[in-house]
Structure 1
Amino acid sequence: MKLLALDTCLDACSAALRTDAAVVAAITEPMRRGHQERLAPMVAELMDGAGWRFGDLDRIAVTVGPGSFTGLRVGLAFAKGLALALDKPCVGVGVLEALARGAGTKGFVAACLDAKRGQVYLQIFIDGRAAMAPDVLPVEIAAARLAELWPGGPAKLVGSGAPLLAPVLAETETLTPAAADPVAIAEIAAAAREPFPPPRPLYLRPPDAKLPGGIDPP
């Protein structure tokens, strides 16, 4: 199997290539804007460097959020368009799951993104398995959820919201990468089994932007 993994949800533009056996190549470029302009050239450079043709791909993976409303749509549109053109499956991967995977699959790992307005996006994993669905919570409720699910012992908090929750647990390691590791995204997608549901944006709360007349964007 040859797989292309993409991420534009957070403060980076990333891509990775993976076979059944291992990751072949990966690249991450920090950026808050400009994903739309950079993604296609980045993918072309990565494919050329690996000597792969687009027709060689068997699967395409893309992060679905939570994250920047604009950024995640860039990745989704590119991945879904490429999958349609190649007639290949497209796999959606949650950003929180990818962040947690990048921090390891042993013990207690909480992926946490600062959602602003006193809220965080949170998902907790124990030995690589989700202990809760991704959610958006006020910081104090997220802290209570952490304390409730924590079995004791070492813990890892990963993501931009990790410092907000670090005081809750003892023995806490705090990691604040700008984005999920594309290698982790590729690993998750490679392990996924069909049938794959169509990837859709994971919006855990309504967008801040409004169309004229106060209407939410679609």
Structure 2
Amino acid sequence: MTFSIVGRCAETGQLGIAISSSSIAVGARCPWLRAGVGAVSSQNITLPALGPQILDELAGGLTPQQALDQTLIRNGYSQYRQVTVIDAQGRTALFSGSQSLGTHHAVVGQQCVAAGNLLANRAVIDAMVAAFERSEGCLAARLVTALQAGQDAGGEAGAVHSAALSVVGELTWPIVDLRVDWAEESPIGELGRLWQAYQPQLQDYLTRALDPTQAPRYGVPGDE
């Protein structure tokens, strides 16, 4: 039903998630990030509350494994959950409950964790971690590369229909938050094209927010 990768850039400290699913609007329920704290992907039979609660525990000083364990115990039904966590220091944790759907797998890599369920094969997750570890460039691009590598290795057992990419840095809001909520075909490809369109404008949007006097002009009505 879902495969994802959470990752950290060792150079910038940015945290991010790339995720895809056969379900609609996966980006609205599964990826959770907080600048300077961590990133959580809550998937399989998703309880969205797990993401914010784990981030709260990380912010309170718990390790990723402690935060994950305590949150799962508190909410119950852990056998239905699949969760991955990375914190601002690059420490990781993962969990796949006994009721994870179909073929499922989770792997910790260097500055990343990938996991999935209802997979075409377990090699999907291995391919994502390998692609992230050998890729270069900014974190968002590396996450997209890893997600595409998972699709190329087989992806889900069935068709995927939604995908999302989110990255946080030093600011309180995501510097990247792109979603394909539904596509009949190739949502990961659509997400990649969205990122290619957004990447050249990313810094401009940060500049507009932080210092409007330096905002670039785009020649649209009212932009004088």
**Shorter-chain-normalised TM-score: which range?**
0.3 to 0.5
TM-score (norm. length: structure 1): 0.33
